[in-house]
Copies of this chain bind each other. A is one copy, B any other.
Amino acid sequence: MRQLVQELLQGNRRALARLISLVENDDKRKAEVLPELYRHTGKAYVIGITGSPGSGKSSLVDRLLESVRRDELTAGVIAVDPSSPFTGGAILGDRIRMQEHALDPGVFIRSMGTRGNLGGLSRATREAIQIFDAFGMDLVMVETVGVGQSEVDIVKYADTTVVVLTPAGGDSVQTIKAGIMEIGDIFVVNKADYPGTERTVAELNAMLDMKGAEDWRAPVLPTVAVRGEGVDRLWEAVLRHRELLESSGRLQAVRRERARQELADQLEHLVKSWIWEKIRARVPYEEMVEKIMARSMDPYSGAYRLLEEIDFPLPQ
């Protein structure tokens, strides 16, 4: 394991792939690796890209990578699909994408599915970001299907969040989920060669004007990702947003909040793991479940009893 870390820090792509698999599989050995990596992190800038299925996120990311490479920056991409049980490279589209960039040492694309556990995916995403960061990637792009909780999660890790929409056609943008308007630092209306683009852009702008800008008013940018149209302007907007965050000190504040949250998560994770290991080893948990079913015990008192059994130092 220690050697794997050394190899990663030396820029070995196989080590990179193996370490990401480790966190994706929630392999126990990651506990030996992640603490070691941590001090090599904190340099990568994280861009979140979220949008519904079919909005063209992947094409957009692919084109964005061209701008990134032109500026001589390197990037890791994590394509998160919470609705997919598939993982690492198992999706055909991702295989193709990975081949395209296979010869470019400055890009590494990796997809991750849920295996039915959203919490686990969120954790694995954070850990994969750290691995890319320690590897030395300048940027990490996290591409996620916008379905509820996963959008909220992306904001937790992304420095700049790009929301990808498509022309609303007959529908009004008003039907866009309220939450989406809150999380975007930049809005993209992709497939801007379809009818309804102008109206969608105008409506989004109106909604954003209503919100009232502080120091950053989220721009609304039409793109045609498959033809690369508008992607340069998107990349410029990302750079401008980054500059603002850095010069205003907000990036530092956000990252402090993130460190605080990660410490809290680790704490709770450690404690919960400890508790459950103890309980599984020693306590008649199923008996307690039966008592609760029979209403001879309530879950509140039941939880107390179980903690007493494992000598957890509860307050009296």
A179–B288 Cα gap in the complex (Å)? Answer: 32
The answer to whether B271 touches A272 (Cβ under 8 A) is yes
A272–B177 Cα gap in the complex (Å)? Answer: 32
A contacts with B: majority SS: helix
Of the residues B83, B177, B307, contact of A267 by C-beta under 8 Å: B307
A64 touches B (CB below 8 Å): no
A244 touches B (CB below 8 Å): no
Within 8 A of B (CB), among A164-208: 169-170, 175, 177-179
The answer to whether B300 touches A38 (Cβ under 8 A) is yes
Q: Which residues of B contact A149 (CB under 8 A)?
A: 118, 148-149
Number of copies of this protein chain within its complex: 2
Flag A286-299 by CB within 8 Å of B: 1 or 0 each: 10111011011011
A36–B298 Cα gap in the complex (Å)? Answer: 8
A306 touches B (CB below 8 Å): yes
Flag A35-58 by CB within 8 Å of B: 1 or 0 each: 111111110000000000010000
Q: State whether A299 and B263 are in contact (beta carbons under 8 Å apart), knowing that A149-B149, A274-B315 are contacts in the complex.
A: yes
Q: Which residues of B contact A293 (CB under 8 A)?
A: 42, 255-256, 259
The answer to whether B312 touches A311 (Cβ under 8 A) is no
A262 touches B (CB below 8 Å): yes
Q: Which residues of B contact A178 (CB under 8 A)?
A: 83
| A35, A41, A148 — most chain B CB neighbours (10 Å) | A148
A294–chain B nearest beta-carbon distance, Å: 9
A303 touches B (CB below 8 Å): yes
A116–chain B nearest beta-carbon distance, Å: 11
A46–chain B nearest beta-carbon distance, Å: 16
Q: Which residues of B contact A42 (CB under 8 A)?
A: 293, 295
Residue of B nearest to A293 (CB): B259
The answer to whether A289 touches B263 (Cβ under 8 A) is yes
A275 touches B (CB below 8 Å): yes
Residue of B nearest to A267 (CB): B303
A238 touches B (CB below 8 Å): no
A314 touches B (CB below 8 Å): yes
Q: State whether A307 and B271 are in contact (beta carbons under 8 Å apart), knowing that A39-B298, A41-B295, A300-B35 are contacts in the complex.
A: yes
Q: Which residues of B contact A262 (CB under 8 A)?
A: 292, 299
Instruction: Enumerate 29 A-B pairs (CB-CB under 8 Å) in ascending A order.
Output: A31-B300, A35-B301, A36-B298, A37-B298, A38-B295, A38-B300, A39-B295, A41-B295, A42-B295, A83-B179, A147-B177, A149-B149, A256-B289, A259-B289, A260-B285, A263-B289, A263-B292, A263-B302, A266-B299, A267-B279, A267-B303, A267-B306, A268-B272, A268-B275, A270-B307, A270-B314, A271-B312, A274-B312, A274-B313
* Interface contacts beyond A259-B289, A274-B314, A311-B313: sample of 12 additional A-B pairs, CB < 8 Å, sorted by A: A38-B292, A38-B295, A38-B299, A39-B295, A41-B295, A83-B177, A118-B149, A147-B148, A256-B293, A259-B293, A269-B303, A271-B307
